[in-house]
Amino acid sequence: MNKPVAFISGTCLLASILAWNVGAAAQPSPQPPVEETFPVDPETAPPIESVPIPPVEMPVTPEEPVTPPPPEVVVPAPPSSAAPVAVGVVLGGLDKVAARTAKFEVNLKQQVFYNTLIITAQMCKTRPPEEPPESAAFLEVQERKSDGTIQKIFSGWMFASSPALNALEHPVYDVWVISCKTVPAQTASPAPPNT
């Protein structure tokens, strides 16, 4: 039973090979022309003469001096309003032991008590309304000890946008700047016309 199957498959294989050979013979494939080369003996070969190639002359055009473009001058737009005048600082506080937060205001150059801390705001700066918001305050923080002495524990700028930049390092209390307490800037009234 295996022999007839093998004979049929062998016959099919032979038929397909013959069909392929007949198809390949019917379509001649293009062959590139073969160049014949002969061995050259370097002793008997005539010397090869080199022919000088004349240099190619390019037309010369006068070069124009290259001038750089003028520097771009950026003129900032005049502010639509003056920066607000700060009269104090709005601070946030955290008592870590009691887990209580507080929000309180400190007028400039005046002391405020927050539990055992004495906070004095020396200066507060804020940006005009058309600029990105930012408030920074220069604070001095002192602590009243249990024996009645006062110790300075912080002096420096605190920024509302990044409170961790220059933070108060205290085991019980945190204090941070929320904003400046401001009043609108006084706009100068126009001078009366000369009469």
Specify the pLDDT at position 1.
Answer: 47
* More confident of the two residues 104 and 39: 104
Element (H, E) at 18: helix 2-26
Q: Which residues contact 119 (CB under 8 A, 6 or more apart)?
A: 91, 106, 111, 112, 113, 139, 140, 141, 175
> Does the reported pTM lie above 0.75?
no
Specify the pLDDT at position 82.
Answer: 63
Specify the pLDDT at position 122.
Answer: 92
CA distance 188 to 174: 41
pLDDT band at 72 (very low <50, low <70, confident <90, very high): confident
Q: Which amino acid is at 179?
A: S
Count Cβ neighbours within 10 Å for each residue of 86-123 and write b for 16 or more, e otherwise: bebbbbbbbeeeeeeeeeeebebeeebebeebbbbbee
